């Protein structure tokens, strides 16, 4: 069995606030789903094997595999199924608790084991976005060395209160920033995180290293407006229990495009690391159905914080808007922003950024405004690309031409569908 090891705090409260100071000294762990207590030996833990023991259901096992895949997506740690008794992480049910618990990295046989209740009614359907899925994300975090957000372990202090909610970490017991942790979560039944969240990913990557296994890949991320499921290059990543989108994206170093062309809503898309995008109010998680049903998550999709290693990073490369009046904001990369239908605002921010249009250059007029922004008008019948405002955009991409705005800006010209030589 791998050995646990201690490591030092970083001094960054938003990282240290989730770490216990313990991790597994390996790049690969095994897991299993014991069916009998024999797998645990004669003496074990706090009575888990003696009271109400049972193996996990097929649905729960599927959720565990999904959770382990979510961890493996963001950190340099692999998970492989092993023997029932000899696996590093063992998942089962017990009547010794009405909720769940897990053992942190430890040299004892219990180290890394995860238990959920076999007797309470909390653990029903196991789809993403539900309480069962959140619990498995949370308890697996403990098994890998994460602590609760409000706990202190030596130099590893509590997470700052402005991030103490499940919007930032699955290790929090607060549904939203400022909520009480007494009385449990206040979320709706399917309004829990569908992935590890911003601070979880950053803390885990400090402990185990970031996984960059998609370098050189070009990938398109698209979400369903009717189910909330994420599709990567057309492959579904697992439908949540209800039509919600509540997740954090780690690209693994791929060149990723967010494609929201199937949305009819007014989008607020932000590609900056640590930023949130809101694509549908209807798909926002309900965080306080008990007291304030209007309390919604800060956004639908968060971009993981920036990690840069050896010239590789996790910046989102491009975004495609939908049918509404969208705002698409870039990051420090050379972004490609496509507004699509509607009157959109495209803000490239830093980098050499390109606004993409569906027609040929002669189909548009463009002119520099007094505030420095560019106004681009689609002259075709029905104006399928609308009238867009461009901020910090350096290039226009039409079906037949690439036009550099920099020299135009210097001479202050207005153009009516003229391609520059």
CATH number, domain of 65, equals 3.40.390.10
| Same domain as 328, residue 216 | yes
Whether pLDDT at 233 is above 70:
yes
| Same domain as 212, residue 195 | no
Domain boundary residue, one of 200, 222, 256: 200
| Same domain as 300, residue 192 | no
| Same domain as 293, residue 228 | yes
Can you point out the beta strands (E) in 118-214? none
| Same domain as 341, residue 289 | yes
As a whole number of angstroms, the distance between CA 166 and CA 198 comes to 10
Cβ(254)–Cβ(241) below 8 Å: no
Q: How confident is the model at residue 407 (pLDDT cuts 50, 70, 90)?
A: low
Strands of 276-277's sheet in order across: 247-249, 301-303, 276-277
| Same domain as 342, residue 273 | yes
- Specify burial of residue 74 (Cβ count, 10 A radius: 0-12, 13-18, 19+): buried
What b-and-e string marks burial along 235-259, b requiring 16 or more CB atoms within 10 Å of the CB?
A: eebbebbbbbbbbbbbbbbbbbbbb
Whether pLDDT at 186 is above 80:
yes
Tens of pLDDT, residue by residue over 347-370, are 999 999 999 999 999 999 999 999
The proportion of the chain whose per-residue pLDDT surpasses 70, expressed as a percent, equals 96
For 73, which DSSP code? Answer: H
Domain contains 416: no
| Same domain as 335, residue 407 | yes
Whether pLDDT at 324 is above 50:
yes
Domain contains 418: no
Return the pLDDT at 140.
99
Whether pLDDT at 134 is above 50:
yes
As a whole number of angstroms, the distance between CA 177 and CA 126 comes to 26
| Same domain as 225, residue 148 | no
Domain boundary residue, one of 177, 200, 223: 200
Domain contains 420: no
Q: How confident is the model at residue 124 (pLDDT cuts 50, 70, 90)?
A: confident
The proportion of the chain whose per-residue pLDDT surpasses 90, expressed as a percent, equals 93
Tens of pLDDT, residue by residue over 148-170, are 999 999 999 999 999 999 999 99
Q: What is the extent of the structural domain holding 139?
A: 4-200
| Same domain as 274, residue 176 | no
Region 3-20: what's the mean pLDDT? 97
Return the pLDDT at 180.
86
- What separation in angstroms does the CA of 248 have from each of 166, 169, 184, 271, 339? 11, 10, 23, 12, 23
**Overall size of the chain counted in residues:** 421
How many domains is the chain built from? 2
Return the pLDDT at 95.
96
The pTM is what?
A: 0.94
């Amino acid at each position: 069995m791998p050995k646990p090891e201690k490591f030092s705090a970083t001094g960054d409260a938003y990282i240290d606030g989730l770490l216990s100071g313990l991790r597994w000294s390996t790049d690969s762990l095994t897991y299993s789903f014991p069916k009998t207590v024999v797998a645990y030996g004669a003496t074990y833990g706090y009575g888990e094997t003696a009271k109400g023991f049972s193996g996990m259901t097929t649905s729960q096992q599927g959720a565990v595999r999904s959770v382990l895949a979510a961890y493996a997506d963001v950190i340099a740690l692999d998970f492989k199924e092993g023997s029932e008794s000899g696996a590093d992480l063992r998942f089962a049910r017990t009547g010794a608790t009405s909720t769940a618990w897990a053992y942190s990295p430890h040299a004892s046989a219990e180290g890394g084991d995860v238990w959920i209740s076999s007797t309470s009614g909390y653990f029903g359907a196991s789809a993403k976005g539900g309480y069962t899925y959140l619990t498995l994300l949370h308890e697996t975090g403990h098994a890998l060395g994460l602590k609760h957000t409000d706990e202190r372990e030596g130099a590893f202090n509590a997470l700052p209160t402005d991030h103490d909610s499940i919007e930032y970490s699955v290790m929090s017991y607060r549904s939203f920033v400022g909520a009480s942790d007494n009385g449990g979560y206040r979320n709706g039944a399917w309004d829990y995180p569908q992935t590890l969240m911003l601070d979880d990913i950053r803390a885990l990557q400090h402990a185990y290293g970031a996984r960059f296994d998609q370098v050189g890949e070009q990938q398109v991320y698209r979400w369903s407006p009717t189910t909330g499921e994420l599709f990567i290059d057309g492959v579904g990543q697992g439908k949540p229990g209800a039509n919600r989108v509540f997740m954090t994206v780690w690209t693994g170093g791929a060149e990723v495009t967010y494609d929201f062309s199937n949305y009819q809503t007014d989008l607020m898309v932000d590609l900056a690391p640590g930023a949130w995008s809101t694509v549908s109010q209807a798909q926002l998680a309900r965080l306080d159905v008990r007291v304030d049903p209007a309390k919604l998550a800060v956004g639908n999709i968060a971009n993981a914080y920036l990690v840069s290693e050896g010239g590789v990073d996790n910046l989102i490369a491009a975004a495609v808007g939908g049918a509404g009046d969208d705002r698409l904001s870039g990051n420090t990369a050379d972004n490609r922003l496509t507004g699509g239908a509607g009157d959109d605002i495209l803000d490239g921010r830093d980098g050499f950024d390109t606004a993409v249009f569906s027609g040929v250059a002669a189909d548009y007029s463009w002119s520099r405004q007094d505030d420095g922004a560019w106004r681009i008008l689609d002259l075709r019948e029905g104006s399928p690309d609308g009238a867009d405002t461009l901020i910090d955009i350096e290039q226009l991409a039409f079906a037949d031409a690439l036009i550099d705005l920099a020299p135009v800006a210097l001479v202050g010209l207005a153009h009516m569908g003229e391609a520059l030589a």
